[in-house]
Amino acid sequence: MDQMKKKSFVSVADLSKEDILRLVKSAESFEKNPNRKILEGKVCATLFFEPSTRTRLSFETAINRLDGKVIGFSDAATTSSSKGETLKDTIKMVSNYADLIIMRHYLEGAARYASEITDVPVINAGDGANQHPSQTMLDLYSIYKTQGKLNNLTITMVGDLKYGRTVHSLIVGMSHFNPAFNFIAPEELRLPDIYKQFMEEKGLYYKEYTDFSEEVINGSDILYMTRVQRERFTDLMEYEKVKNIYILKNNMLKDSKENLRILHPLPRVNEIAYDVDDNFKAYYFEQAKNGVFARQAIICDVLGTNHPPAP
């Protein structure tokens, strides 16, 4: 295996500030012109060992719009992993068929492991509670589009900061751009210490809260709501205690900044009331649409395709 020739996309921590800005610009170019023949002749495998709507369908849309072909599965129960085939053997097999592997897995580190046992590029579509780096690229692109910049923004993250992999990835991604973070979570779902240490080492400002107050919302440029991750709880009684702890309602936004935008990786359960959807500050559906362009940028980057910028 020639590791020099292969480029995977496993963790936001592997990306420099320049990498992120290049991918944001590339996403912008794909949004202007998403239909191109860049992946003609390429077969891309989407291996989803955990449920997904947006990530899998936006990756597949991204590939289809670039004239690539898609193979894969959305339910591992229909594959030979249900007969006991290991992840290693599955990855080895799929590497015989595809030019690119896009994988979501319930185990933290699964994408890194996969990338180390194949010479086909691997894109991490979420590994347990660890990282969701392609979500981070679409989040960064959404922040850039709505704020006109990435630097010096106040980002408030609300909900399940313990298990929310999109939160973990976004902290790392934003760390290049001098953010100020507010973290709102119940004690049970506080941000893990490892991310606090990371921010302290980088000299970044952050503050933790347990109250979801209008005061914090009113000082924010981005309000990043998250779902309590039921699937990560070993004790469902614990989930029941915290599942509806924070609910954003439209009247909580009345004194928020004009440029505030509300992001959510989705799916939503109860944490954003439906009356927020009609507020122009609600951006979560457009955010999901941006996923197609951000993922086109990521795919072309790992495959090393040369594509001219959109006119």
Catalog residues that contact ligand CP under the rule CB under 6 A.
52-55, 126, 135, 265-267
Amino acid identity for residue 298 in this structure:
I
Nearer to ligand CP by C-beta: 268 or 281? 268
Instruction: Report how far residue 285's alpha carbon sits from residue 262's, in angstroms, rounded to the nearest whole number.
Output: 10
Phi, psi of 201 (to 5 degrees): -60, -35
Nearer to ligand CP by C-beta: 267 or 304? 267
Q: Is 232 in the active site?
A: no
Catalytic-labelled residue, pool 5, 78, 83, 234? 83
Q: Is 65 in the active site?
A: no
- Per residue in 138-161, is it b (16+ CB within 10 Å) or e — as a string? bbbbbbbbbbeebeebbbbbbbbb
Instruction: Report how far residue 59's alpha carbon sits from residue 111's, in angstroms, rounded to the nearest whole number.
Output: 16
Catalytic-labelled residue, pool 7, 25, 54, 92? 54
Minimum Å gap between C-beta 296 and ligand CP is 16
Nearer to ligand CP by C-beta: 55 or 182? 55
Q: Is 132 in the active site?
A: yes
Instruction: Report how far residue 2's alpha carbon sits from residue 180's, in angstroms, rounded to the nearest whole number.
Output: 41
Identify the CA nearest to 119 among candidates 96, 141, 103.
96
Q: Is 83 in the active site?
A: yes
Which residues are CB-neighbours of 23 under 8 A, at least 6 positions away? 15, 137, 141, 294, 297, 298, 301
Catalytic-labelled residue, pool 104, 145, 176, 295? 104
Encoded tokens for 70: 């898609």
Nearer to ligand CP by C-beta: 46 or 256? 46
Catalytic-labelled residue, pool 46, 55, 90, 146? 55
Nearer to ligand CP by C-beta: 54 or 92? 54
Q: Is 295 in the active site?
A: no
Minimum Å gap between C-beta 76 and ligand CP is 15
Minimum Å gap between C-beta 202 and ligand CP is 25
- The residues carrying an active-site annotation are 54-55, 83, 104, 132
